[in-house]
Chain A
Amino acid sequence: MAPPTARGPRPPARPPQRAGQPGRGGVGPWAPQRGGRAAERGAARRGGARRAMAAAATTAAGRARRGTPMFSQKELTSKKRDEFEDILEERRLSSDLRYAMKCYTPVIYKGLSPCKPNAIKSVVLQSEQVQYVIKQLAKEMGESPDIIQEEAVEILDEMGHSMQLGTVRFFAFTLSKIFKQLFQRVCVNEEGMQRLQHAIQEHPVVLLPSHRSYVDFLMLSYLLYTYDLALPVIAAGIDFLGMKIVGELLRRAGAFFMRRSFGGNRLYWAVFAEYVKTMLRNGYAPIEFFLEGTRSRTAKTLTPKFGLLSIVMEPFFKREVFDTYLVPISISYERILEESLYAYELLGVPKPKESTSGLLKARRILSDNFGTIHIYVGQPVSLRTLASGRINLCPYNLVPRHLPQKPTEDIQEFVSDVAYKMELLQIENMVLSPWVLVAAVLLQNLPAMDFELLIEKTVWLKGLTQTFGGFIEWPDNLCAKKAVMSGLTLHSNIARLINGHVVLNDKGVEDGAVGEIVFKRALVILMCSTYRNQLLNVFVRPSLVALALQMTRSFRKEEVYSSFSFLRDVFSDEFIFFPGISLKDFEEGCFLLTKCDAIQTTQQEIYPTDKGSVVVSFLSAMFRPFVEGYQLIFRYLSKETKEAFTEKQFIPGVRNYVFQLLEKGTTQCYEALSSDMQKNALAALVQLGAVKKKKMSNGFSYSVNQEAIHKILDVFDARTPVQKPVAARL
């Protein structure tokens, strides 16, 4: 059977210049003066149009500060996305060896010649920034600067990449083989690659991919190699160095390694920051890192980490570079390689340490099929455009630029805003497979569901998702039944079709102890939810409105908004919300619900329509596991008697608590077993002030404010109305 998701004949490639773009009068008076290639000229022209658009956006955004989000709902729904190309197709037709040995001459930043990894290291070491910190530390500790310099050299050696073309070619060859084994297709939006090509020549580029799998690591390098673009240097966790040969191989493929936490170590911080900034300033290779900091075990986007982002933004703040491009990249997997590992991990079975032998053992998955990968390279976002009119650079003018300087509050806020914006852009372009819809439907109809009904519901959900701006890869000519079937085939470890019914594949549940049954069921549910989760960030705003409607049992807009706001705060670590724009989010949720006729709004009121109740109840059911899960976790904490506890004590405690409830059958909320949800709930409580977080010598300790937790629980149970937030002009 041909892969059911295969598309028909490929649509003709789009002409490079879209109609309606402001032309620049053919002859190209803007052609670079130094006389470059035709490609450069094209870049300039296209760049002009793009910048004009970006500028229009900025002038709007620049006017109000935080008030207007850098992210608007209009873009969300009316956005037209690029076409995909399968890069494996060519690999299947021609020699991998020749591909690996091909002539590789990437275009580079403003004609700079690539700089040898060792040269970078010595530049970093000699830099005023690092030398300053070395001298400071030497003075403070009364040691000779040479010793500290030695230390810096060691840090650099541990950290630095040593990209070699040979290794790159080795990976090009082996990854071709492996990818062809594992995946049906690796699809890329070629227009995105073209945009990236132009961006790389213009300004330093930072690639910001989503992180769902280890495959992400080399996928982008592989892609850029294929398209003859400069290979990125990739920030990787130091744990990879634990893997013998593999760590070194990664290093030679362009990975550089950062320790997981180094807040206290000033020398490390200085060397690391300068290393990254030197690579950025020289612009000879794009820098790649994961905003989420780690692989998301749940396929939901994790809240961003700001450290590296603020480092790569600093050269622009200090005007050492004219601009920096941030490129959001969405990598979506039809089936995630580590899906079962993740489920185990979420349930508390420790993640196997990164090791070469572990990797070799994992080779059996090579025989499995993991469907299609979609890589969507987003529009490069100009940092200058984002910053225009927003930040006061005066502090940077008053201190020599090589001195380490704590970012001001408005800079921190800006970095955070940019981080969220980039994640939202990632989410926007995540490709959703039909299976994602199936999983969402299935999880609301456990334990078994009629196949025909499943198809019908899936098609219905497809429409809804598209209304909400979700990006579904579902070829026009593919019939629903085939799409659902192919999803089931690919994910037969999760669900199966038996006698016209679709059931979860929880083999071995029938026999065994109660505990084991619960565990196995939890495993498969968590795996399945990983796919549903991919929908959540598209659905979260309208769904929270729906939930708020149910919670308030009133149609008054203000009250619904209060509940919405409450839920948004509670779930602020669970889903990605642009900071500080609760009202906008609410309006967007209402707008989308109105668009699918689920609600009607008047000046003061919001009420569900008759036919809208299906949508509203579906949406709230979709988020029910989170509502219930959080309630369970909060309830556990409300029974917490210990004065203070650590996260290491909290997670097993709450897990046991939920486990017992599941065994007793008093709850069906298996997802509350997920350590991810447990951590997020705890973080939310910290933010809401119901739990106090204190820094101890060995990590953090938490203590519960019982009264506050009970209050929150009461709101959830709708026993008390939400304390009215400032319902600013609804």
Chain B
Amino acid sequence: MAAAAEEAAGSGGGSPASARRRLRIISGHLRGSPRAAGQEALSPSPCKAQGGSAGPAAGSIPKKRQEILKWNGWGYNDSKFIFNKKGQAEFTGKRYRLGGMVLPTFKEWIERTFGASLEHKTTSRASLNVNDVPPSIVNEEFLQDLRATKISYSQDAEDRVFRAHGHCLHEIFVLREGMFKRIPDIVVWPVCHEDVVKIVELACKHNLCIIPFGGGTSVSSALECPEEEKRTIVSLDTSQMNRILWIDEKNLTACVEAGIIGQDLEKQLSESGFCTGHEPDSMEFSSLGGWVATRASGMKKNIYGNIEDLVIHIKMVTPRGIVEKNCQVPRMSTGPDIHHFIMGSEGILGVVTEVTIKIRPLPEYQKYGSVVFPNFERGVACLREVAKQRCAPASIRLVDNAQFQFGHALKPQVASIFTSFLDGLKKFYITKFKGFDPNVLCVATLLFEGDREKVLQHEKQVYDIATKFGGLAAGEDNGQRGYMLTFVIAYLRDLGLDYYVIGESFETSVPWDRVLDLCRNVKERIVRECKEKGVQFAPFSTCRVTQTYDAGACVYFYFAFNYRGISDPIHVYEEIERAAREEILANGGSLSHHHGVGKLRKRWMKESISDVGLGMLRSVKEYVDPNNIFGNKNLL
């Protein structure tokens, strides 16, 4: 902690400044004078006023990420699934609703689904062995120049390893059992746009390679350092550029530094009574700049839109200079939208430093809900109808039977006999009275947001449609648990890894008429590939429809298997994932809906956007970054 404080001091800032700033924002809103807000909007950002008096706001994630985040797994150090002394599954920590709860049926589910056994455990290395880490090779002249800028940096092994990876299975596996061949040589922490400009200039001067790092939640191998990169690799960590620069209440926009992470952005906006409503599943850790760079999508996009709908203005630093628009307007016709070169550029063109994003007043009322359908087909038909009538709630998701059972297995111990009696009654009603087959039925979870009255009206409309497709309302609680699980589910992989179970999720978007075929075929392909590759136990292969659009849906797959008896599980896993992706493409699905391409899915880019399309992107890259300073080798 001392070290962090020192570093923070080194960069010439401090929490006092940020606290003062936040206070100012809040008080500004308290005054509620539009005039004041207008002034706020016009006031220049402190960092620009040189002198280094301003520093980053205190975010939820410290500069030394390893202090609260796992170095070899997902999320917070204090939050994880464990098996307690009684052999029951439990989720630790107090951060999530599930924290501290015992999950009585989960162990049995794992054993049944994966053929895994608690007796067969793998052990990860307890901590990072600094001696394994490739040395930091940085030329002294650059260091001198860097020091002159007063930008904070580190050549510490832990810092560098932490920024050498995202959260793909193979990356986590390497952390547990091996070491990356190539990692960044140095980590730098700019605190504002100007710092980034300076770093990019230095990189051009010394011919270095920059890899921007936001929240580190990439699942496309986008953060992996190209092994053959001979130049010094600079990891540009944007996490200290995390201030809200201004809020414009008249136009409902906010200008935010790109390093801010989702939870901080929402927390801080909510202090002023606003939100962006952009909630990707990774929002606890992922950053605004990362969302822009991957074309992210949020759970509640039905109300708030995806990142491309939210962004009003982007400022990006490239080796050619700064790219931005001259105004902040809702739409303009000035040739192809340059934002679309930036969104999804995955760090190959430059660093996004500031983003003006739409904001909305915080919703008055939120309500969860859930619907049980007799089978997946009916569920999809219902979602399609909801999309057709354009009455989708903030979020509507449909999980298949396997995932429904999985969710069921994560049910905490019931508190009272009464609840357990009610659960039993519910189950009886659905399976016996209504005749739903518990091995076939599936569940949709819903989230409504807005005015209380409108929400209730909206709710009724959606439930009416669901009834037409044989759906039965299944309670708020199930819905809420479903959404909570999306945050917790990422922690499960670490537990699985301890017991020879590896898994991953991947996603796609697909036209409505192909949703069912795609889901069925991809799951079947996974099962078939596992068999062929010698996987000893049938895999867990499941999907859910997570987003609805006018013309199609986003489908998310979870896939995991027990790898005991396989000598090279990661290779096998990758082959199967590749086959699954090929199946998706053959079924008319896209290469990615929101995860991006990175290096993991590069091989299909040509097929996806045609030769000419790829050439268009290449020529942009060649113009913007002729010396390949941003050399993470993503996308192209």
Contacts and interface: CB of A to CB of B under 8 A. Distances in A.
A397 B531 CA distance: 28
Contacts of A581: none
B588 A397 contact: yes
Contacts of A31: 538
A25 B531 CA distance: 13
Nearest to A392: B607
A63 interface: no
Contacts, number: 41
B468 interface: no
B610 to A, nearest CB: 10
Given A25-B536, A30-B538, A400-B513, A319 B525 contact: no
A55 B528 CA distance: 11
Interface stretch (B143-151, B455-463, B515-523): B515-523
Contacts of B125: none
Interface in A52-72: 52, 55
A322 B525 contact: yes
A319 B517 contact: yes
Interface in B581-601: 585-588
Contact of B521 (A24, A34, A55, A319): A319
B532 interface: yes
Contacts of A30: 531, 537-538
The listed residue with most A CB atoms (<10 A of its CB), out of B115, B517, B607, is: B517
B439 to A, nearest CB: 6
A401 B521 contact: no
Interface string B489-519: 0000000000000000000000001100110
A25 B520 CA distance: 27
Given A29-B537, A396-B588, A51 B531 contact: yes
Interface string B445-489: 000000000000000000000000000000000000000000000
Interface in A9-57: 24-25, 29-31, 33-34, 48, 51-52, 55
The listed residue with most A CB atoms (<10 A of its CB), out of B520, B531, B585, is: B531
Nearest to A393: B586
Contact of B517 (A48, A320, A393, A400): A320
Counting contact residues on chain A (CB < 8 A from B), the size range is: 20 to 34
B532 A319 contact: no
Contacts of A55: 532
B528 A51 contact: yes
Contacts of B586: 319, 393
B536 A48 contact: no
A394 B525 CA distance: 19
Contacts of B537: 29-30
Interface in A64-111: none
B308 interface: no
Given A51-B531, A322-B520, A33 B587 contact: no
Interface in A375-401: 393-394, 396-397, 400-401
B524 interface: yes
A319 B531 contact: no
A617 B518 CA distance: 58
B397 to A, nearest CB: 23
A597 B531 CA distance: 44
A313 to B, nearest CB: 14
Interface string B107-135: 00000000100000000000000000000
Contacts of B532: 48, 51-52, 55
A174 B219 CA distance: 66
A322 B531 contact: no
A3 B225 CA distance: 78
A401 B588 CA distance: 10
Interface in B337-364: none
Interface string B515-555: 00110110011001001100011100000000000000000
Interface string A586-622: 0000000000000000000000000000000000000
Nearest to B589: A397
Contact of B538 (A29, A51, A52): A29
Contacts of B520: 322
Given A30-B537, A34-B439, A319-B521, 9 more contacts: A29-B115, A29-B538, A33-B538, A51-B531, A55-B532, A319-B586, A319-B587, A322-B524, A401-B514
26 contacts: A24-B536, A25-B536, A29-B115, A29-B537, A30-B537, A30-B538, A31-B538, A33-B439, A34-B439, A48-B532, A51-B531, A52-B531, A52-B532, A55-B532, A319-B518, A319-B521, A319-B586, A319-B588, A320-B517, A322-B520, A322-B525, A393-B585, A397-B588, A400-B513, A401-B513, A401-B514
Interface of A: 24-25, 29-31, 33-34, 48, 51-52, 55, 319-320, 322, 393-394, 396-397, 400-401
In the complex, the 9 A-B pairs of residues with the closest C-beta atoms, listed nearest first:
A397-B588, A29-B537, A319-B587, A322-B524, A393-B586, A48-B531, A29-B115, A55-B532, A322-B521
